[in-house]
Chain A
């Protein structure tokens, strides 16, 4: 059976941010509000060490589409709003979602109150208020002279004005108040033979997407030839080889910084610096 998965090559990734913004344009996710990020693709960062021997890493993060997903287990509605598709995507059906946030609490990569969290990232976000306040506000900075969010939406004919009109049986192009949302691996694209938006947008081609159960796939090939890591939580801790976690399907290979990297400073000199 198909298990769509993603491999992120950290050596290729330069942390530019293109994937995360491309995701927002594809999936019409709103701006941060009510301590929710609505960033289906995001980044977490790790820093260690002292100048100039600093260790730094950027991890692009997204829903891990776990094979043993706690978000599905805890979903209280029947049929479940959060469920596994046959292709391995952890899908949310918006119509059935009651916005109880049980999934957000159960997911080790998600949390409420993300603004106060150090890593500031959650796979699952909750629409506590009417979305897209930025583009529904009708106030004008200079009345009659500058535009407003609402005027822009009206002129473009959609909210948000750059709304990509995507169609899928489980979800709408734009979310509504009272439901949760998360990365769905761009199911509307994948089902039509297109790559997820973040994969297609990556200028470094650091994201590789495919069926992990197909031994011929690029993903399978990379997993065979690299030591791959999987995240344990949204704080950049990784599962040890013995840990199974919830069997996430997003894998990280290589390192953001080269292991053999050398810093050229003269230590004695540094002590004399101003």
Chain B
């Protein structure tokens, strides 16, 4: 018998009538217009009146539709949106923690102005409060002056987190109409290496979903989806089902929650993931376990894949894939389990078992590619190698496999062509500040060289003034001085920018370098916006709405600040942005144009969400009747994903799943051509060892150590906390109180975990205050000897080590003394250049640990 919590009501003798009252839809949505809006907690019996109001949590990239219980104007509780199919109506711990973020005592209340011209870490900016009018006036003046001098390209806009819809206004239209090529996102410190493999095999540049309900084998590779990686409540909810109905294997050098809970833990040697993936592929082929339906077969049905043997391409007829035999001949034939065992530390027997078990479960196999092995120097081919297993097993885009999200309709922005003047066009023609597309940074997002962002290279470019000087910048919902690797470069670069505006909820590290600080609202509580995301085979469009009175004098950047800034720029003589906003944005219900910032935000939200509440033709999925109904439900769910739609129509050069990537060949050749050279030279310039045809197939690249192993003997592994909120929750007491839910971590402390064997060798004991030093920096934290870390490696959770942000986040805000240590102070500025990714999860550098 399946036990359902909803049964509690039945068993505890609640009558049918009141059970019906508990169903989420009935009460909340029965509230009529003109009604006070106050209903009990979906149950007439709940002691005190209140109302669940839908919103969206952005404490990680799951972007969970949530509901917030509002009593007497206060936000008091959080849960998943009961209608959401992606999160099953649940939120993770971070959802609940939002309450301590919105009610954080250290939030900024008002715009601030710097009065100390000297900038640097630990230098008091001597902020003073100013009005929004003054803040916007100063900012507008700087921007218009740059434009008037023909230097609009010297303006830099940096984005951290964002809304999936209004980013098109602030990150898209604003620089376009203003005339700067420099809209720089955080993406390359986040995920691009993870997108590389799926793109150059099956033409998909985005986040994968997994059909966990039907999978028979889940191979989690280099991440801990029970703690992070974009669909937390779904994975937590599904995990027991997976343990009962599938095999769960976890490849991770670190003892993570998934590694603890899965059937198999494969504690691989850091950086050798490619070897394991190739050997699994080798065994799948030699054992004849590939998907005949998806991949095809030898024309006579006789398997000729045998170790070291070259195979005649003409004997194999492929169905939905391209280049299998070439991949075998170029790479796989001598990459057997014996070879991989020597590289990875995983026994030959277990490699074979993994491959065979996966083969037997095919095609219902999900290979979950995480950032660990691929956000790494030389990680691009690890990314293609791991993702190729989905191709071999026919699980790509298949039931129980690795899939995409269904598409959801989002309204489009009004055209802006007539507002883009010649100054803007000229400004936009300049190359971008992050040096993407230069020989060493192919950054080939979606197949186009130079189209991907190289976020963490921005400070280098600013400091070198290459390609030019940055004279003014705005950063919103970002904190690169904390989240960028080798942070000290960001400190130097931000100190160099003559005029910087930071939009933030807290006095963050990056805000310490700002000339103007603009206070932002807390996204799930205090602003109107539209988000889209998905998981569990469904996608959705969800709302964020102001559900409490804004606590302080704050405005969200992408809508309201855009409006007031545009208004001020018009006063200073540049009217195009304001004219575009005020004339072209029309309320889709009544056609009215916005007259103020709040109306602009609401009209934008309506434009973007209209296709789900007033679709022009019948929309499959949830039926929502109008804007008001959408605000009350807070979500539109798509129908479930249709499997196999991409078969025969993958977004690659051949429309096939490419083991031999013609798509990658085209992109690399184009990049080579841009630099008058050949692909071999490009690979060498980007740190790869392969040459010739191997460049176009998933192949083995030996892991790169960027430092001197004898000086920094302990390999460092970085990972994310299940409470992190992307580095924004460290001023919350609950973060520290429950830090222990990260395996091996301690409440109210920041510990580096060292294997007891290594601890003995270097004379370190649990509780010692230690100094960790890498080739680029040092941090001071507490040592913990822990068996969950492999001898020779040390591991520390990312998150703590703020030297600003608030009184709890920093140990001593006034003197810039961090609480704990920031891993990014240790992680050297290293890239996976084909995707533009920063290397971040470790394995490629080491540290030295000594008593502090």
Contacts and interface: CB of A to CB of B under 8 A. Distances in A.
B239 A14 contact: yes
Contact of A165 (B72, B109, B786): B72
B236 A195 contact: no
Given A52-B265, A203-B236, A141 B99 contact: no
A204 B237 contact: yes
B593 interface: no
B799 interface: no
Given A17-B738, A203-B237, A258 B112 contact: no
B11 A210 contact: yes
Interface stretch (A18-26, A77-85, A241-249): A18-26
Nearest to B755: A51
Contacts of A18: 90-93, 95-96
Interface of A: 9, 11-12, 14-18, 20-22, 24-26, 31-32, 37, 39, 43, 45, 47, 49-52, 54, 56, 58, 120, 134-135, 137, 141-142, 144-149, 151-152, 155-158, 160-168, 188-189, 192-195, 197, 199-206, 208-211, 214, 216-218, 221-222, 256-258, 260-266, 269-270, 273-274
Contact of B79 (A157, A201, A258): A201
B109 A147 contact: yes
Nearest to B76: A164
A272 B577 CA distance: 63
B741 interface: yes
B1 A156 contact: no
Nearest to B253: A52
Contact of B791 (A51, A167, A222): A51
A217 B11 contact: yes
A162 B267 contact: no
Interface in B29-62: 41, 43, 45-48, 50
Contacts of A165: 47-48, 50, 71-72, 76
Contacts of A149: 105
B74 A158 contact: yes
B713 interface: yes
9 contacts: A17-B723, A25-B76, A52-B790, A56-B743, A147-B109, A203-B91, A208-B3, A265-B266, A274-B713
A264 B267 contact: yes
Contacts of B243: 11, 258
A213 B616 CA distance: 56
Residue among A12, A18, A203, A204 facing the most chain B CB atoms (10 A cut-off)? A203
Interface stretch (B341-349, B381-389, B648-656, B774-782): B341-349
Contact of A146 (B108, B236, B350): B108
A31 B737 contact: yes
B790 A273 contact: yes
A145 B99 contact: no
Contact of A261 (B41, B264, B549): B264
Interface in B707-754: 709, 713, 715, 722-723, 733-734, 737-738, 740-741, 743, 747-748
Given A134-B105, A157-B73, A274 B709 contact: yes
B621 interface: no
Given A163-B76, A203-B90, A214-B11, A273 B345 contact: yes
B237 A199 contact: no
A14 B261 contact: yes
B694 interface: no
B847 to A, nearest CB: 13
Interface of B: 1, 3-5, 7-9, 11-12, 14, 18, 22, 41, 43, 45-48, 50, 69, 71-80, 87-88, 90-93, 95-97, 99-100, 103-110, 112, 127-129, 226-227, 232-233, 236-237, 239-240, 243, 249, 255, 257, 260-267, 269, 341-342, 345-348, 350, 354, 507, 548-549, 551-552, 709, 713, 715, 722-723, 733-734, 737-738, 740-741, 743, 747-748, 755, 786-792, 806-807, 813
A145 B46 contact: no
A192 B5 contact: no
Nearest to A193: B14
Contacts of A120: 747
A198 B108 CA distance: 32
Chain A interface helix/strand/loop/mixed: loop
A147 B551 contact: yes
A216 B263 contact: no
Nearest to A51: B787
A192 B90 contact: no
A265 B551 contact: no
Contacts of B232: 16, 203
B45 A264 contact: no
Given A147-B552, A201-B79, A141 B787 contact: no
A25 B77 contact: yes
Given A15-B257, A195-B5, A162 B109 contact: no
Contacts of A205: 4-5, 237
Contacts of B233: 203
Name the 3 nearest CB pairs between A and B, nearest first.
Answer: A203-B90, A266-B347, A192-B45
Contacts of A269: 341-342, 345-347
Contacts of B709: 274
B3 A151 contact: no
A192 B74 contact: no
A270 B69 contact: no
B435 to A, nearest CB: 34
A208 B109 contact: no
Contact of A32 (B41, B548, B737): B737
Contact of A56 (B69, B354, B713, B788): B788
Nearest to A271: B791
A254 to B, nearest CB: 9
A144 B80 CA distance: 36
A15 B741 contact: yes
Residue among B95, B109, B227, B232 facing the most chain A CB atoms (10 A cut-off)? B109
Contact of A141 (B88, B267, B507): B507
A209 B8 contact: yes
A151 B261 contact: no
Contact of A256 (B97, B261, B738): B261
Contacts of A24: 96, 734
Contacts of B346: 264-266, 269
Nearest to B77: A25
Nearest to B5: A205
B319 to A, nearest CB: 32
A101 B14 CA distance: 37
A262 B107 contact: no
Given A47-B786, A261-B263, 4 more contacts: A147-B109, A157-B72, A256-B260, A258-B243
Given A14-B239, A195-B5, A273-B792, A134 B733 contact: yes
Contacts of B257: 14-15
A211 B76 CA distance: 28
A124 B373 CA distance: 45
A202 to B, nearest CB: 8
Given A162-B99, A204-B237, A152 B792 contact: no
A31 B103 CA distance: 14
B738 A167 contact: no
Contact of A51 (B5, B88, B112, B789): B789
A51 B236 contact: no
Nearest to A214: B11
A25 B548 CA distance: 17
Nearest to B95: A18
A99 B122 CA distance: 46
A56 B258 CA distance: 12
A218 B347 contact: no
A263 B350 CA distance: 9
B787 A12 contact: no
A50 B255 CA distance: 12
A167 B723 CA distance: 30
A264 B255 contact: no
